[in-house]
Amino acid sequence: MGLGYAVAAAAAVKQNQKVTLRSGLHIEVRKVINNLAPQNWMRMATGQGQKGTREYDWSMIDIRADDTPEEHEAGTSRLIVRRHRYTRETSNYLCHHQHPATPAKLVEVICRRWEVEEAFQLGKSFVGLDLGQVTCWNSWHCWSLFSMIAAIVLTLTRAATAALTAPDWPPGLTPVSCPELLKLLRAFALPSPARDGDHVVFWSACRLRRQAVAQACHRQRHHLHDQVA
């Protein structure tokens, strides 16, 4: 009740979705964007990427909150448009807040989603967060915990290198990214996996044994279901 929100991504707020302006005009989002004057746009930095500062053009239009229940306190609703500075591609966001908020604060909240997506990408792509094949809470908890610890190590190391300056960090080099850091760890710190014949046969037997147990459990489940039916 009374919570603010920022509906993000063009998939959620489409170009043909209609909003109600403060004047009472019910109009499609694309028409609102087409009527914006150059002075209605402001360029704002939204964070750092591997290629440098992310900068987009932003525009904010006051609208009426058509979906706010009557028992909610009155607040401020805005249609926020983000435009790529080169391709002119736009993304739309609907925001509602009970207390006054600056444009910079709203943009910060909207862009927080990128940080979450980058964290998930780090967990899935580099530390195996989505590779655990577990069937109980304890094993899932252990796998997730070790994956997140590995992600924390990579993140903190990357942040530490970003803070270094000459002579501690060579000039002309960007800070170490997580993929590059993982390559260095695999080359100099992490032990290479065993590839001898006995090791390969041992793990092959383990996989075949688990498959046999899974097949037996599957057959038993079907048998019990048939008896009950």
Q: Which of 98, 113, 119 is nearest to 8 (CA)?
A: 113
Q: In angstroms, rounded to a whole number, what is the distance separating the alpha carbons of residues 20 and 30?
A: 13
Q: Beta 18-21 vs 42-49: how paired, if at all? A: unpaired
| Residue 10 pLDDT | 45
Report the greatest alpha carbon distance in the chain: 77
Global confidence as pTM: 0.64
Q: What are the mean pLDDT values of the chain's consecutive 10-residue runs (229 residues total)?
A: 59 78 87 90 81 85 72 75 90 82 84 82 86 80 90 89 84 85 86 86 92 91 83
DSSP secondary structure code for residue 183 in this structure: H
CA distance linking residue 35 with residue 17, whole number of Å:
16
Q: State the helix-helix crossing angle for 137-162 and 178-188, rounded to 10 degrees.
A: 100
For residue 45 the two structure tokens come to 């930095």
Residue 228: predicted pLDDT = 78
